[in-house]
Amino acid sequence: MSENISSREYIKDKKRIVVKIGSSSLVHPETGDLNLVKIEKLVRILTDMCNEGKEVILVSSGAIAVGVKALGLKNRPKHRAGEQACAAVGQARLMMVYQKLFAEYLRTAAQILMTKFTMINVESRHNARNTFDELLKMGVIPVVNENDTVATDEIDNGSFGENDTLSAIVAALTHADLLILLSDQDGLYTDDPRSNPEAKFIDTVDIIDEKILAMGKGAGTSVGKGGMSTKIAAARIATDSGADMIIANAKDLSVLTEIMEGKRAGTLFKAHKNIDFHLINYITNN
Domain segments of the chain: what residues? 9-285
223 touches 65 (CB < 8 A): yes
- Where do the DSSP E strands lie in 160-206? 178-183, 204-205
Residues 6+ apart with CB under 8 A from 108: 102, 138, 139, 140, 141
C-alpha 94/C-alpha 98 separation (Å) is 6
C-alpha 283/C-alpha 118 separation (Å) is 11
Q: Maximum CA pair distance of the chain?
A: 51
59 touches 237 (CB < 8 A): no
The pLDDT, as a whole number, for residue 279 is: 67
- Tell me the pTM: 0.89
The pLDDT, as a whole number, for residue 191 is: 83
- Average pLDDT, rounded, for the chain: 87
Predicted confidence band of residue 120 (pLDDT cuts 50, 70, 90): confident
Region 181-185 average pLDDT: 91
Q: Say if residue 215's pLDDT is above 70.
A: yes
The pLDDT, as a whole number, for residue 209 is: 87
Instruction: Provide the sign of the torsion angle of the four alpha carbons 239, 127, 225, 62, taken in this order.
Output: positive
- Strands 16-21 and 204-205, sheet pairing: unpaired
CATH class, domain 9-285, is: alpha beta
Residues 6+ apart with CB under 8 A from 47: 102, 105, 106, 107, 141
